Amino acid sequence: MSNRQFRAHGGVRGTDVPRGSLLFEGSFGRMFRTLPATQFSDPDLENLARAMTAAPELDPDGKPTATPETETDNEENQGINAGYTYLGQFIDHDLTFDPMSSLQKQNDPDALTDFRTPRFDLDCVYGRGPDDQPYLYEDDGLHLKLGRQLTGSDFDPNTPDVPRHRSEKGGRARALIGDPRNDENVIVSQLQATMLRFHNRMVDHLSEGGKHPEFTEVQRFVRWHYQWVVLHDFLPTIVGQDTVYSILPHLKKKTSIYVDKPDLRFFHWRNEPYMPIEFAAAAYRFGHSMVRPIYRLNTNLIGSGPEKDPINGRIFIFTPDDTTQGLNGFREFPSNWAIDWSLFFDMGNNPPKTGIKRVQKAYKIDSSLVNPLGMLPLSVARDIRSLAERNLKRGLRMGLPSGQDVARYMDIAPVADTDLRVGKATEEDAKKNPLLTTISSTFADNAPLWYYVLAEAQQQFKKDDTPIRLGLVGGRVVAEVFIGLLLGDSHSFLSQAPSWKPDVKFMDTGKFGMADLIKQATKAQ
């Protein structure tokens, strides 16, 4: 396949970020350098991608259906709320840059240069800073610019959009943000706006009492609070608290990081940490299986007309051809689509368990992607439009080792072929899901790493309501990379002040998680 054919996102994913800037340099590398690359044929991967993409849910008349809000959807992950999917995507964009646009080098990870520093530094929020990209900032050089006012959220009547610019009449209103990828769907773009507001809230907070904070001071505190959320909320939610403790034992023992030292077994670097290709092209793509087909953005869309309200006020994540009916990004969406974050995170107000005001759950981490991801919008992918196929072929081109080889390297017993099935982790599907090896015998003891990480997580499935997090291989890879990048970043709170804690004024509940960050963001002036 030519590189041209494999270019994605219609030139969107970061292609307009300037190259060659020192700020955006970083490099890819391999965590498991000595392991051989697996080989598969393209048709085998295409068949697997088809099996990993769920059928559309339609009624006998061919109209889309969805589980009523009064019933539990058996594809929901009872351990993970839906907001973590998009926090995960946001973090991905903060850490990685899409190698697609780098032409020939893209399939040569050892020589590949990422545009971005693999750090939790919110460069997707700050861009290159107020001196270099002043149009992202207010005239004071401190506050970040926000966009038009949105309506519909009972949680926050002042929800803003990200700032947008329409270059020609009738053209798309593109987001004016540090990383264009954070406008890829309506949810991640509203998360970006929330992060902008959290920065503005920090400006206001540090300006209390007539003080004049430096931009770099504000930025440091914003980054540290975000890093805290990543380490203490996102990571345990995805990999489980025990895996985090096994790498950072001082957190469990409540001692010093210098006494109970970090235990990174597989992620090592010489001078600067790099972006492991096993993480970017496989393990961290677990989030694709958490995407739901349909979301309630707020509770006021119900009954607002068939165009914006295909099923009882809920909106499809994507429609294939970028109409106004899905949560497709890279455009100005209807202004009554303000996100109500209490439908995505547990904001601590005892949310009901059923009904339209309940917190939506992420879909399960399993070897099944929802149907809309089988035909990505043209604004996201022009050539190969199945996300599963893109991921599997990317893994092959990047020369990834098999999931079983990675497991053995890590001294973990690989999941047996007789337990590796393809499809949804539900009581209804579990028994009829085909074995991976029936799709092709080349997959015997030789599973693509991305598939393996999902199928490994799926082994936790017992009943429809079993929470599913990443397993031993996927969880360890993701946690080591996150913690390694924090430890290797000389500006992170773990490097500069390992016992640092978030501002007590931000910890109403005695902790600081994503819900608390959002609450602070909504207080910004």
Contact residues for ligand HEM, defined by CB under 6 A: 8, 85, 88-89, 92, 96, 98, 100, 185, 280, 284-285, 287-288, 290-291, 317, 376, 380-381, 387, 390, 394
∠ Cα 360 361 363 (to 5°): 130
- CB closer to ligand HEM out of 196 and 387: 387
In the complex, least distance from residue 174 CB atom to ligand HEM, rounded to whole angstroms: 18
CB of 13 to ligand HEM, least distance (A): 6
In terms of CB distance, is 317 or 468 closer to ligand HEM?
317
Cβ atoms of residues 362 and 80 within 8 Å = yes
Give dist(CA 131, CA 383) in Å, integer.
38
Cα distances from 2 to residues 400, 408, 413, in angstroms, run 19, 33, 37
Q: How far is the CB of 266 from ligand HEM (least distance, A)?
A: 18
By beta-carbon proximity to ligand HEM, the closer residue of 152 and 372 is: 372
Give CA 517 to chain center in angstroms: 17
Q: Which is nearer to ligand HEM, 205 or 480 (CB)?
A: 480
Query: Closest approach of Cβ 168 to ligand HEM, in Å?
Result: 26
Nearest to 248 by CA among 469, 492, 498: 498
| Closer by beta carbon to ligand HEM, 342 or else 386 | 386
Cβ proximity to ligand HEM: between 92 and 322 the closer is 92
Q: How many residues does the chain have?
A: 525
Give the nearest distance from C-beta 220 to ligand HEM in angstroms.
25
Copy the structure tokens of residue 235: 């990571």
> Minimum distance between the CB of residue 6 and ligand HEM, rounded to whole angstroms?
7
Packing angle of the helix pair 514-521, 186-207 (nearest 10 deg)? 70
Residues 290, 362: Cα–Cα separation, whole Å: 5
Cβ proximity to ligand HEM, 5 vs 418, nearer residue: 5
Q: State the minimum distance, in angstroms, from the CB of residue 514 to ligand HEM.
A: 14
Residue nearer to ligand HEM on the CB measure, 85 or 367: 85
Beta carbons of 421 and 436 less than 8 angstroms apart: yes
DSSP 153-208: -SS-TTPBPPPEEESSTTS-EEE-SS-GGGGSBHHHHHHHHHHHHHHHHHHHHHHG
Nearer to ligand HEM, 77 or 85 (CB): 85
Question: Which phi and psi angles does 254 have, rounded to 5°?
Answer: 55, 45
In angstroms, give the least distance from the CB of 14 to ligand HEM: 8
Closest CB to ligand HEM among residues 64, 498: 64
Q: Where are the alpha helices (DSSP H) in 1-128?
A: 42-52, 83-95, 123-126
- Give every CB contact of residue 525 below 8 A, 6+ residues apart in sequence: 200, 204
Contact 498, 128 (CB under 8 A): no
Q: Strand 76-81 vs strand 294-295: parallel, antiparallel, or unpaired?
A: unpaired
Q: Closest separation between CB of residue 205 and ligand HEM, Å?
A: 29
- Burial code (b: 16+ CB inside 10 Å, e: under 16) for 219-240 equals bbbbbbbbbbbbbbbbbbbbbb
CB atoms closer than 10 angstroms to residue 378: 14
Min dist. Cβ of residue 426 to ligand HEM (A)? 20
Query: Which residue lies nearest ligand HEM, judged by its C-beta?
Result: 287
